[in-house]
Structure 1
Amino acid sequence: MSQKHPVIAVTGSSGAGTSTVKNSFEHIFRREKLTAAVVEGDSFHRYDRDAMKKAVAESEKDGGRPISHFGPEANEFEKLETLFKEYGETGGGETRLYLHNDEEAAPYQQKAGTFTPWASIKPGSDLLFYEGLHGGVQSDTVDVARYVDLLVGVVPIVNLEWIQKIHRDMNARGYSAEAVTHTILRRMHDYVHYITPQFSKTHINFQRVPTVDTSNPFIARDIPTLDESFVVIRFRDPRNVDFPYLLAMIHNSFISRPNTIVVPGGKMGLAIELILTPLILDLVVASRKK
């Protein structure tokens, strides 16, 4: 981990809501006039969409354990680690884009489900911002988290995570409920071994907890709203957290443990900006003194 060129990562499972947190970061960068080199986690998948389907089918032959986008077999963990290390040292590195749909693919004259070529990060950025599945991943060969200056976890309770994934994949991607359920089950081994361990390494976790019944996520008709939730915010090191200030600024918030504050779901965006803005500015100021 090096503060010469700060690396910030938001990590969370598929359907966890990392995109919502990403929007809050973008507000901070715009307001504070910071230039971020944005890296999407999907860019470091090993296979394009067609190749992934074939790789999954091959892995499942003869009852084998299926690979998934959560695990090392389907990702370029080494390249992600190299990017974080190189950016921290030089402010450079290589990344690419995964083109999710026809709209994203059209400017590149490629088809959806493919990658753009690897390209160098433009010089002059203030920090690198990663959002995806593996911002703090560790395997037998890599430890990505050690190169991250600020690691943020987005961790809704698992039933809510599944509800969000099922609704997103059915409504935005056209999958059936059965297909999404199969994907959840197929990924479970990798979820346990490569996704959840990251949240023990994060500096801050934001965990959304609904206040409505989510006991059977596979039949839920709608996603609980932010106003139907609380957000549990856990700090790895609470010594420099100004809890009285946060309690005063966020109405109806409360302390549940010495390292944890709970805020109403509708105040999640406000909490993210109040908590993370000074941390980001401290990193940038420190980097400019190097």
Structure 2
Amino acid sequence: MSARHPIIALTGSSGAGTTTASRTMQKIFVEEGVNVAIVEGDSFHRYTREQMAELAKQGRYGQWNHFSLAANHIDKLEELFCDYGQNGQGRFRHYIHDDDLDLIRGGGAPGTFTPWQSLPRQTDCLFYEGLHGGVSTDDYDIASHVDLLIGVTPIVNLEWIQKIHRDTHDRGYSQEAVVATILNRMEDYVRCIVPQFSHTHINFQRVPTVDTSNPFIMREVPSHDESFVVIRFRNPREVDFPYLINMIANAFASRHDTLVVPGNKLALAIDLIIRPMVLEMIERSRT
């Protein structure tokens, strides 16, 4: 951790909803004039899309999947966090998605990576969104470098529903292929993804209020109006629960460290909770 060069990490698995939370975070940065260096976890994957497909053909997909630490440059991610905390610098790259039109026009192929490059200079903080922002093992301790670690983790049936819907509707995969991916990743989900949520400072967990007992037959993702968000704080003494309950309609505390808000108030809750923390970190780094 570094008071001078703070790091914020948003971690969650594929289909968990981290992209929605990330947009809210970036809105805060823009509105508050925070000069942020943004790094995506996909850029630390070890293999290109074509290489992953080849591994799958060899029957090694369960071993080499994006949840797996071995399929990612976790060492380079920890090196980046360490360097940024010490001097505000570090190296990163981009993973080129199908909709990264600027990178594709520049000659990059979807499913590959740009060359490694240095972060912009003179940034106020580093913001990471990806799968491994809270990893802590015998070999790596990413979480120890993060000043604010945020988890986005819907209950697992809802996570599967969101992933199946996204990958079938937006990415053109069959449901059978998506379910196979879920099964192939299961061991690494349990070993590599879930433990991170014990290291987070704040967890946002969406819980539907409709029947999701069989996620593999659901045709629609439960809406935010059909959900609650359970927010757990590591340090509840630092949280003004009465203020948040007053500001967020129908919010309530279910435990001394847990706030529950309507699902359609997620963006508001992130803003009310995270914005003051970001401003405090930036002020501390500048002084």
Question: When the two structures are superposed, what TM-score results if normalisation uses the length of structure 2?
Answer: 0.97
How do residues 9-28 of structure 1 correspond to structure 2 at under 5 angstroms?
9-28=9-28
For the residue of structure 1 that corresponds to 2:203, the secondary structure is strand
**Aligned letter for 1:207?**
Q
Aligned-partner Cα distance in 2 for 1:153–1:66: 24
State the 1:273 CA deviation: 0.3
Deviation sequence 1:11-47 (CA, Å, 0-9, x none) = 0010000001001101111111101100001000000
> Per-residue CA shift, 1:233-285, capped at 9, x if unaligned?
00001011000100100000000000000000011000000000111111111
In 1, the alpha carbon distance for the partners of 2:106 and 2:66 equals 24
Residue 272 of structure 1 pairs with residue 270 of structure 2? yes
Deviation at 1:125, TM superposition (A): 1.0
Which is worse superposed, 279-288 or 180-189?
279-288
Please report how far the alpha carbon of residue 140 of structure 1 lies from its aligned counterpart in structure 2 after TM superposition: 3.5
The equivalent of 1:85 in structure 2 is 82
CA contact (8 A) 1:138 1:194 kept: no
* CA positional deviation for 1:102: 5.4
How far off is 1:65 after superposition? Answer: 5.2
- Structure-to-structure mapping, 1:58-207, within 5 angstroms: 58=58, 60=60, 66-101=63-98, 103-104=100-101, 105-207=103-205
CA–CA separation in structure 2 for the residues paired with 1:141 and 1:274: 36
Alignment of 1:186-265 (within 5 A): 186-265=184-263
Q: Is the 8 A contact 2:52 2:64 kept in 1?
A: no
Aligned-pair identity in percent equals: 58
Return the alpha-carbon distance in structure 1 between the equivalents of residues 143 and 57 of structure 2.
31
Alignment partner, residue 48 of structure 2: 48
CA distance in 1 between counterparts of 2:219 and 2:175 reads 12
Report if the CA contact (8 A) 2:62-2:185 is conserved: no
Moved over 4 A (4+): none
Aligned mates of 2:175, 2:58 — CA distance in 1: 23
Match of 1:6 in 2: 6
In the alignment, the residues of structure 2 paired with residue 83 and residue 19 of structure 1 have an alpha-carbon distance, to the nearest angstrom, of: 22
Given that 1:156 and 1:209 are in contact with CA atoms closer than 8 Å, whether structure 2 keeps it comes out as: yes
How far apart in 2 are the matches of 1:250 and 1:37?
A: 30
Q: Distance in 2 between matches of 1:193 and 1:270?
A: 32
Letter in 1 for 2:64: I
8 Å CA contact retained: 1:108, 1:116:
no
Q: Structure 2 unaligned runs (5+)?
A: none
SS of corresponding position for 1:269: helix
RMSD: 1.2
**Partner amino acid, structure 1, of 2:14:** S
